[in-house]
Every structure is written in structure tokens, then in C-alpha cells.
A and B are shown apart, each in its own frame.
Chain A
Amino acid sequence: MSEQPQETRVGVDIGGTFTDVVAVKNGEITVTKTPSTPENPEQGVLNGLDASEDAAGYAPADVDFFSHGTTVATNAVLEGTWVDTALVTTEGFRDALEIGRQDRPDIYDFDAEKAEPVVPRDRRFTVPERLDERGNVLRELDEDAVREVAAAIDDIDEQSSSGSRTQSDDTGVLAVAVCLLFAFENPAHERRVTEILREELPDVSVSQSSAVLPEIREYERSVTTTLNAALKPVMASYVGNLEREVRERGVDAAVKLMQSNGGLIDADAARSRPVNTLLSGPAGGVQGATHVAARAGYEDLITMDMGGTSCDVSLVQDGEPVVSTDVAIGDYTVGVPMIDVHTVGSGGGSVAWVDTGGALRVGPRSAGADPGPICYGRGGERPTTTDAHLLLGRIDPEGFLPEDRDVGVDDVRAGFEELGNEVGMSPEETAQGVLDVANANMARALRVVSVERGHDPREFALVAFGGAGPLHAPTLAAELDVPTVLVPRTAGALSALGLLISDVGYDYSQSMVRPWGAVDAATVAGAFAELRAEGDDELAGEGIAPERREFERVADLRYAGQSFDVSVPVPDGEIDADALDRIEARFHERHESRYGHADPEEPVELVTLRLHARGVVDSPSTAAVSPEGTVADAIAEHREVRFDDQAYDAPIYDRDLLPAGGDIDGPAVVEGPESTVVLRPGQSAEVDPDGTLVVDTGVER
């Protein structure tokens, strides 16, 4: 870590329940949590800043760096509260957006529904024009037809709002997406359509598929482009308000936002490509986990962010989060690069029940935050995993049960007694059973996530965060034969921490489907030069000095006739015939490791060129955290904690008092302000200089 000037950095992450603020002031980390305000998210940011300024002792004007993880775009997609949008596409393809790929969402459920098309059929318009697969014009664009379409779109303004998924009141169409066949090969027609629309409809924002996602596959490109169009006014309004409020407060630092790919962008970029922010929050968490783990010396990770209703799982390889271009957000698969987050329906609020076949089940139904588990005292009557932890002594009843509500351990036990009666087990056995089943669910999900991506979980360290992650992780890891679990000190606010250590990052791509033998070095070099020029412009716009700009080039290749691309890093330096040969050789190697086979004799195709432009931001230096005193001094109490139907008198440690280098042995519970770590008998843990708990799960490596 390089020498840093004294500075103050603030990261604000809005979650479903809490808005987390992490402030790093002169190396010291302060975490604050305030309730989120879903109706008016910018108010939640301001409330969070109030709390953070008080707790960490800084003034708004001191803030040198301000970054933000937002769920505005995500919520708009999940709730369908985007603006009314129209689509202009190639003649003959009006319904491609609605038909999709023809698969149905559930094979056996007769009640299943397809995703509503982002743009309803009466707002999808076609224009005569056609390109071939190399971008050659087969049919010229009919500009008069485009003007007629513009008039028709304008006409919708006059009508009452008809989109079933929109909240806007009779405002008509506010956004238009333009998505023409093969526009990624030749954007001329799309550009001309956009120009005409802008002339004819000056108040409507236009998104162009060749700008949003210049990649092959018309359906995926259309979904991504229409979503971007539909979200632009939503994001513009939010970011505008946020910038104004933060500015008025006295923060001078530019507002940066986290994208789904783990890179930060400035407010203008978020306004023009909101579709890139759909996984803003989870991406911050994975970035935070990656950072903390790297400092502890681990680079291959499974990250596990478990909250009340679900658990987000991702993989990190060689210190880089695995990025995917087909992540589903709600009902929509979005084609832009996103950290590959897989959500499992298992959380602290997952409800336990006995099904008609007599098996004990946990989830997928969740008690959520309200009424929540029995132990929240908000009227929850069905036992959850959180209640099981409480009954078995893993969560401190004293500290956890709300004082202002009439709920006690007896209420929790009564819940398990009732459930236990259905299966002929004692309350404690039932609670243990609930945790066993919850862990079996999660183990299955984690294993399949790893195996699908070609990895063996045993070769990874598990990083656990979120309120419930550290409660389960050591046991879960043992089940998966994972030798190490890492629990960051800021396990409850890792997304906000991730906002402070991430670089500025933009992704660019260009599909170019060609037999590899027909690819010439000059064309590839030219395409990369264009992508790089875009990246340079955008980084310069953010005030990133040239020496802090890094560019990673990647080529997606595949065997001819296959549909699975493999991303291959392109070597630095000039692209010549020799570089192309090296790319091809790397492709065969990567294919072998990803898919288990390769054939250098098989013909290869180029599919897409990608460039990641990075503006390097120095991570804030953080002070080592090591309280005075010994491990024994950190023992707050001893409590009865049950494992596998055996009771232990286990030490309960106060995490804030654990000194760096300290070792603890299970069975033990480590309680911190943000999370509780449970070590099984036979497991042990060490505190590293950052305060990260490094758990040895007792599994042989």
C-alpha cells in the first residue's frame, strides 16, 4: 500500500433494509447503519451521512472521495417502474423482443408466465432496412418511414398511458430504443434513425443498441437496449437529485457510482448507461470481499453474502471477480458484463416447515424483515434459521432479543416444540435439524455454482459476510471440504467498503464474427484502437491522468459451430500475426481448462472483442486494528452452545477486543457489532492484522 495523504473517503451503499456508510478517515474505518428510505432513496443517503459524520467526526467539505452503490435501477426493473418506452427495429422483427428464445420459465408449472416484454407490442415499430451478417447494406434505410414512426411515437403522447408496468401518469413515451439487425457490424442505420428521432422528438431520450451493447444475438441486445432506454430517465432524475443534495450539503467530491462489473463510473456515465448499474450493490460486496481476502493472502474465493431472505454467491479467481455477460435480473437477462452473482433462496428469515411427505424443509419462503423470525417479536410465529441459531445458543439471546418487545427464548422454543411435534423430535433436535437442512440446501447450491463454472470448491476459500453468512460459513465449509473461511471485520457493510477500494472501470465491446483464419491483424488492431479511444475519452472525462489508465484487451473466441465463447486475454503491444497466433494458442488452453477438452485442429472463430478501461484509484490505507490485551481478555462470557445434539460450555468472544495474531479454538462464538461467527468443535481461527478472522475449518487440504 502506497503512502497516502491524510484524507477522508466515504462509501454509501443502499440495501433493502439498511443504508450502510463506511468512512475511512486517516486510515481509520467507521461503519454506520441507518434505515433505508425506499420511497425516497436520496433521503436515506443523507440520513446515513448524518450518522457517519457524527460517528467518524468529519465535515462534508472534508470528503475527498464519494462513491455510491445504488439499487435504483434494480428496483425499477424488479418492480417494473421504468418509463414508457418505444422500440424501433428492422422490418419483420417487431416481435423478436417478445418471443425471446422460446423457452418457457418453468417446465412443469402450468401457471408460469413469460417475462412481460420491456416494450409492449403497440410501442414496437419497424422500419424498412436490412444489413447482412457482415454489415453490408441489403436494403437502404427508408428515412420517410422513420419520420412516420416518430410521428406515431409522438402520437402515443396524446393517448392515455397504456403500459401495465409503468407508474408514470399519462406522460406518454419518454424513451426510445433503436435496435436494428446486425447493427453491431455497421451502426450507420441506427445512427441515422437516432438522428431523425432526435430531430422529431427532442424531449425523448434515445438508446442505440450499437452503443449500449454492440454484440451479436438480437434478442439479448434488444432486451439490454430497451432496459437501458427505459431506465435512463429514472436514473437521470435520481442522480440529479442526489448530486444536488450532496452538493448542497457541502460535499465537493464528485459522485461516483458502482457498476455491475465492479468498476466505478461518474454520474454522467450512469445517466447514459443505467443498465450497467443493475448489480451495483452486490458488486460492491464482492469487491470488498476480494480486497479483504487479498490482504489476508487469498485470491481464489467463493464469496457468500447471506442476509434475511437470500444468499448471493460469487466466485473470485486469481484475485479478480468472475464476470459474466448473461446474468438475469428479475425476469430479464442482461448482456453487459456483470460480476457473476448467483442468488440462493436461503437466508436468516427462511421458514422451517414439514411438508406433506413428512420431510423437514427450510425455505424458500422467508419471513423477511417483517414479521421476521419469532425472535424479532414482530408477530412471526413460524421458526426460521435465525430462531434455530438463537435456541442453540449461537446467537446471544440477551443481546439479540428486542428489549421493547414482548418476546423471549420461550417463545422461540415453543415454535420449535410445535414443529418438533410434527416430526417426533425435541425442540433442540428440531432446531439442529433446521440448520442441517439449511446447510444442505446451501451446500448443494454452492457446489453446483462452482461445478457449472468448472471449479472444485475445495480449491477455494469461503468469504462470509452479510448478517447471517458468518453464522453458517464454518459449518458449511466443512461440509464442502473447504479448508478456510474468511470473515472480514466489516462483514455487515462490505458492499460499502467495496465502494472505497474499487477502480474506475468501463467496458467496451464489438462483435466481429469471423473465421479466425479470415481475421487480419490490422482489423483487430483498428477495432481495439477505436474501443481504446472511447475509453481514453471517458477516463479523461473523469479526470483520470493518463499514467493511471490501464487497458485490458480480451478476445472472445469459440470453435466454429459452437455457441460457447471463451474469453482470451490479448497480449500487450502491437497486434500482428504473431499476436493472433498467441491468442489462438491461449484459446485452446483456456478451453481445455474451462470445458475439459480442446482440439488445436478444429477451426476457430472470433466472436467479440472487448476492452476494459481502468482508472486506477489508490486504495485508502487502513490502519492495523489490534486492541490491547490477550485473547483471554476478549472472552465476554461462557454460554451453552449446542452442536449435533451435544451441549458445550463455549467461550463467547467480543470481536472488537480480539488482538491481531490471536488464536481461538472451537467450539466458540465470536460476536461482533455486525455479525456472529460460530466455530464448531475442532475448528480454530486466527485474527489477522486487519481484524479479519481466518478460520481453519478442520478439513485437510
Chain B
Amino acid sequence: MSADSAAGDDAEVDPVTLEVVRNGCVAVAEEMNANLVRTGYSPNIKERRDCSCALFDARGEMVSQAENMPVHLGAMPFSVRAAVDAFEGDLNPGDAVLLNDPFRGGAHLPDLTLVSPVYDPETLESEDQEPRLVAYAANRAHHADIGGSTAGSVAADSTEIYQEGLRIPPVKLFEGGEVNDNVLEMILSNVRTPDERRGDIRAQEAANETARERVHGMVDEYGADTLESAFEAVKDYSERRMRSEIEAFPDGTYEFGDLLDDDGRGNEDLPVEVEVTVDGDEVGVDFAGTAPQTEGPINAVLAVTSSATYYAVRCVTDPEIPPNHGCYRPITIDAPERSLVNPEPPAAVVGGNLETSQRVTDVVLGAFATEAPERVLAACQGTMNNVTFGGTDPRGSEDTDAGGEPYAFYETQGGGFGGRAGKDGMDGVHVHMSNTMNTPAEVLETAYPLRVLRYSLRPDSGGAGEFRGGLGIRRDIEVRGHTARFSLLADRQQHAPYGLEGGDEGERGAAYLYEDAQAYAAEEDAGVSVGEKLPQKSVHDLDPGSVVSIRTPGAGGYGDPDERSPSALARDLRLGKLSPEALRERYGVDPDELDGE
């Protein structure tokens, strides 16, 4: 579509107003986000930034978003839709709808979403006019606990959503500007850290208040009618750009499939299948053939599947296209009912967000790679390696000397980033649906009765290729002076990340348990593993002094390993990222041949 006809489509909104209003819409979401991160209580929001904010128009279609986590990308529209549907015709100024039900607009229970309608300020002040709805503000934050069987509400062994925490359908938390204390108290009675939850919810309300104030400013400046047209123009703009990007892919149906290791309940090798159909400037994504929903907690609700799909499409098109409803118009998603990627209640879902979302990304990207490998990369580590330690800190707090404070420590681990057309994958990063920061060893040891014995890259874990896959990470943690409950929720320990264009698979992940420091040290000396290999989804009680070693997957390589340049091999060898043995085995090159490179 040429720029001329594009301009003609929105006759009333010129290209300057379009850009100025678009900037304004993004600014609203960014300011909401800045305020949410600033006033949030929990480190989950403040440091890990596991939250997102968005502005929707009066139709409930998203016009701008500030997301820190790709897994929120396409999920927020489901929340607004659910909130609007629940209170059709009964939403009023000062109301705000809270929800977390994965089957009604949520993703997994720890993610709480707050949706607030915003009205034309003039109609609010007027006595004889009905308040005119102009927008919705919505934000989502991952709460550190929402009840259920496990502190932190990421239970690797849950089989029903009821074990995962409190399920909140769309409810009015605020009515006419007043908080509904009955609802709030009911929620707070069901969580382990009510004060923190209250603070985080208050921060969420403040974020929407920021949006309300800023949207009022936009209405004052442009008028509600022009703003409404401008919102349409902003969505149309993203749609145009997305369609022209999709058109660049050849028409046809691209298929791809991969496996999840298991669900932690003995159901193994679960297929995730996709058929991506490009037809002109539209794309259809169909997950027919994917495993049925399963007993373990790895079911991904449709909102999560959609997020992962939108993320993949955004990456292979132009990531600069402003994310809003317009981007999604040319994309249709079909996911079979009662499947791993579109489950029904009471499926357990907490890991769907964390693990299955990664595999959905892998298969959609894999499908695009069949036609346009240069725009995609080999498989990344494909897991978040979720680890939770919990117990009672044996160290007495010095002022009371009492000790005995309970603690729960949750973290995820990065790994290899896929090899790319033209460059190696990054080593040791969070991939695709996650992008959180880790906990520094010094902070971890100060705050919890744990010790980090080793934090390193895993040499040889990157899949061989002309452009090798990124390396995984090894992180070894000792339990100090107490018995700890340890939960592992990981994948890619049975089925390795795939390579592309002749590149090799990345090394699979693994987790080992050593009963004490002596056994751990023995392995260092022996050079072979003497630890007990732990299942990738499992829960254990760890004795004092025992050591857990988490090894995260390396990524797949891109291109024929024989094409890898001698200088790149020499560099890997020199940096110790590739051993002389692996150089011989995988690249068929003798280290001596590289002398002088």
C-alpha cells in the first residue's frame, strides 16, 4: 500500500497528528509502567519488572503497550475483553476491574490484571450528558504469591488450578472510585504476604490513575471525536505496516513440530505442532496436532499461546512496528480445544506461561524458518529453568537472635540464544518469552541460607554450526545448615534445541544433586558426574550441605559446521568455549591445524 493511499484512508488524521498522537499513546503506557515499577512493593515488580501496561480504546482494542515481558504481549487484550464482557453496560466512572482467572482473561494465577475505564472529562462534569467512554487503561503485574499449595505459587507438582492459588474472575475492585473492601479482604485472606499484595495492588491502581490523567489531557487537546479517529488511525497504521511485512513472505503453508519433555506427572514427549499459512498479507497459525491438555501444570491458556505467537510474528517481521490491536488483525490463531495450548478448567496452568510458551515460540519460529531461515534463528534454550528454594533460615537475625525466619527464593536461569544467519548466538541470556535479571550471588547469599559455589558458562553446550548456538549456564547452589524444599520446573533436558540450515542441536539441560560438599568436590576431581540426576520437573527435600547443580541448555547452531571459519573456531578454542575434543568431533578439525589463526 503506498503512502498516498494510506494517507487517504484516514483523511481526517494527517501524518503529523498520527505520529504525535501515537507518541502520546506510547507515552501514556510508558508513564503507567514507570509509575508501576516505581511504586510497586515487591522486587518482582521493581527489580524483575515482571509487569506490563497498556492503553485500549473505547472498543476495547489495544492502542499502545509498554511491556517488559513478551509473555504479556498478546495477553492483555484478553483481560480487557473479559472485563468488558463481565460488566457489559455496568461499568461506570471510578470503577476498576481486577482479574487473574487464566480461563477468563488471565494467563496464570500470579499475574493480576487491573482494567479501568476512562471517560471524557467534560461529560463527567456535565449534568445532562451521559459519561462518554474514551479508553481503558490496563496493567498486569506478577505477584510474588497468590496462595495455593506452594509459597510463590509456582508449584511444579500441581494437577489442578485449585492447587495453584486463588482464582479471581473479573470483579469490581473499585466502584465509583472507592475500593471494595470486601473483595480486597477476601483476596488478602488467601495469600501468604497480604501487606505486599495490598501495596502492589495499590501501585496497579496508581498506574491506571496516571493513564486516566494523561488521557484526560489528550481529550482536552484533541477532543473526544478526533481522539477516537486518531486511535483508529494508530491501529490502522500498525496494521498497514504489519501487512506489508507479512506480504514479504512467500504464500504457502509452513509446518513444524517439537516436543516438550514431560508434564512432571509421567506424561512424556508431548508434541506441540503448528501449521503457519501465509496468504497474501495475512497469516494463519493453527496448532492442530498438539497434545491434549495434560495432568501436570504446563497447560498454556489461549492468551499465553497467543502471546507466544504474536511475539514470534513480531520478531520475524519488523519489531519496530508499534504493538497494538492493528498488528494482530492480519493474524488468526486456531488452537484445538482441551489441548496443551488451549486447555479447559480445571487444568493446572502455572508452567504454561513459563515453559510451554517457550515451545510455542520455538515451533512458530521453526515454521517460518522452513521458508525464510535467514529471518529466524536456531532454537534458543527453550526453557526458563524455574527453581524455588524454601525453608527456614537457620541464621538468627542479629537483633533478636531468634532465627527461624521462613524464606522462599525463586529464580529463573538463562541459557543459550540460537545461532543466527551471520552471527553466533549469545551465551547465557534469557530467551524469547522471558527477560528478567538474575539475583547476584552476593545478594542471594546475604538474603538466604544458600551459597553459590559456581556460576559459569557451559563450554561445548552450544550447537555446532557455521554460526554456533549460545552456551548454557551452570549454577551450583549449596544449602546451608537447614533442610530446604526445592522445586524444579524446567524443560529441554530430554529433547534438545534444534539447529537450523544444517546446524547441530544445542546441548540439553540437566540438574544434579550432590549429598554433600565432599561428593561435589569429588566430581571436580574425577571429571565425571557423580551426582544424582534430577527429573526436570520435580520437588525434593534437600539435606543441609547438599548441592544442586543446574545446567541450562545451549542453543542450536545455524548453518553447516564445516563452514565455520577457522578464525571463529580458533577464538572459541582460545576462550575455552570449545574443547579440543569437541573441535575434533563436531567440526572435524585438529587443534594444531588452527595454529596461526
Interface residues of A (CB under 8 A from B): 92-96, 98-104, 106-114, 120-122, 132-133, 162, 181-182, 216-220, 354-361, 422-425, 432-433, 436-437, 440-441, 443-444, 447-448, 451-452, 454, 513-515, 517-518, 561-564, 594-597, 599, 602
Contact = CB atoms under 8 A, between A and B. Distances in A.
Nearest to B375: A110
Given A102-B429, A133-B445, A518-B397, 8 more contacts: A92-B456, A92-B476, A102-B413, A133-B446, A360-B16, A437-B16, A444-B24, A564-B46
Interface stretch (B36-44, B99-107, B135-143, B352-360): B36-44
Contacts of A217: 440, 442-443
A425 B457 contact: no
Given A440-B23, A517-B397, A424 B202 contact: no
Interface in B424-462: 426-431, 435-438, 440-443, 445-447, 451-457
Contacts of A361: 19
Contact of A354 (B3, B244, B445): B3
Interface stretch (B27-35, B87-95, B118-126): B27-35
Contacts of B22: 359
Given A358-B15, A451-B35, A564 B47 contact: yes
A424 B8 CA distance: 9
B46 A104 contact: no
B435 A107 contact: yes
B314 interface: yes
A94 B577 CA distance: 12
B47 A423 contact: no
A592 to B, nearest CB: 10
Interface in B55-70: 70
Contacts of A95: 428, 455-457
29 contacts: A92-B453, A95-B455, A99-B414, A99-B455, A99-B457, A102-B430, A104-B430, A104-B431, A107-B70, A108-B315, A111-B420, A114-B427, A122-B575, A216-B443, A357-B240, A358-B18, A360-B15, A360-B16, A424-B7, A437-B19, A440-B23, A440-B24, A454-B38, A517-B397, A564-B46, A596-B203, A597-B41, A597-B199, A597-B202
Nearest to A445: B27
Contacts of B47: 563-564
B248 to A, nearest CB: 11
Q: Which of B15, B35, B315 has the most CB of A within 10 A?
A: B15
A596 B426 contact: no
B525 interface: no
B377 interface: yes
B398 interface: yes
B215 to A, nearest CB: 14
B230 to A, nearest CB: 12
Nearest to A422: B3
Contacts of B238: 357
Contact of A110 (B321, B376, B428): B376
B27 A98 contact: no
Given A132-B445, A359-B237, A96 B455 contact: yes
Contacts of A595: 38-39
Interface of B: 3-4, 6-7, 14-16, 18-20, 22-24, 26-27, 30-31, 34-35, 37-39, 41, 43, 46-47, 70, 195, 199, 202-203, 206, 210, 237-238, 240-241, 244, 311, 314-315, 319, 321, 375-377, 397-400, 413-414, 417, 420, 423, 426-431, 435-438, 440-443, 445-447, 451-457, 473, 476, 574-577
Contact of A444 (B26, B423, B576): B26
Contact of A423 (B7, B436, B574): B7
B202 A436 contact: no
A313 B420 CA distance: 36
Contacts of A563: 43, 46-47, 443
A515 B397 contact: yes
Q: Which of A113, A182, A356, A561 has the most CB of B within 10 A?
A: A356
A480 B17 CA distance: 17
A700 to B, nearest CB: 13
B414 A108 contact: no
Contacts of B476: 92
A344 to B, nearest CB: 12
A182 B452 CA distance: 12
A514 B445 CA distance: 12
A440 B26 CA distance: 11
Contacts of A103: 429-430, 435-437
A355 B244 CA distance: 12
B30 A444 contact: yes
Contacts of B43: 561-563
Contacts of B237: 357-359
A96 B577 CA distance: 15
Contacts, number: 221
B30 A425 contact: no
B576 A108 contact: no
A-B interface, 9 closest residue pairs, ranked by CB to CB distance from nearest: A517-B399, A518-B398, A108-B319, A358-B6, A433-B16, A102-B414, A92-B454, A444-B27, A596-B39
Contact of A515 (B26, B398, B440): B398
Nearest to B399: A517
B473 A423 contact: no
Given A132-B445, A358-B7, A562-B46, A98 B457 contact: yes
B442 A133 contact: yes
Contacts of B442: 133, 181-182, 216-218
A112 B19 CA distance: 26
A425 B14 contact: yes
A424 B574 CA distance: 58
B441 A599 contact: no
B23 A356 contact: no
A98 B459 CA distance: 13
Q: Which of B321, B397, B436, B446 has the most CB of A within 10 A?
A: B446
Nearest to A220: B440
Nearest to A110: B377
B319 A440 contact: no
Contact of B241 (A113, A356, A437, A444): A356
Contact of A356 (B4, B244, B400): B244
B358 to A, nearest CB: 14
Contacts of B4: 422, 424
Contacts of A219: 440
Contact of A447 (B27, B39, B195, B203): B27
Nearest to A514: B398
Given A113-B426, A181-B441, A452 B38 contact: yes
B438 A102 contact: yes
Nearest to A355: B241
Contacts of B423: 111, 113
Nearest to B39: A596
Q: Which of B27, B430, B577 has the most CB of A within 10 A?
A: B27
A458 to B, nearest CB: 11
B399 A518 contact: yes
B20 A358 contact: no
Contacts of A602: 195
Q: Which of A94, A103, A120, A594 has the most CB of B within 10 A?
A: A103
A48 to B, nearest CB: 39
A108 B314 contact: yes
B574 to A, nearest CB: 5
A229 B30 CA distance: 37
A5 to B, nearest CB: 48
B577 A121 contact: yes
A110 B418 CA distance: 9
Contacts of A132: 445, 451
Nearest to B66: A448
A54 B445 CA distance: 62
Contact of B20 (A108, A436, A451): A436
A354 B244 CA distance: 15
B437 A101 contact: yes
Contact of A448 (B31, B414, B428): B31
A448 B30 contact: yes
Given A357-B238, A517-B398, A96 B441 contact: yes
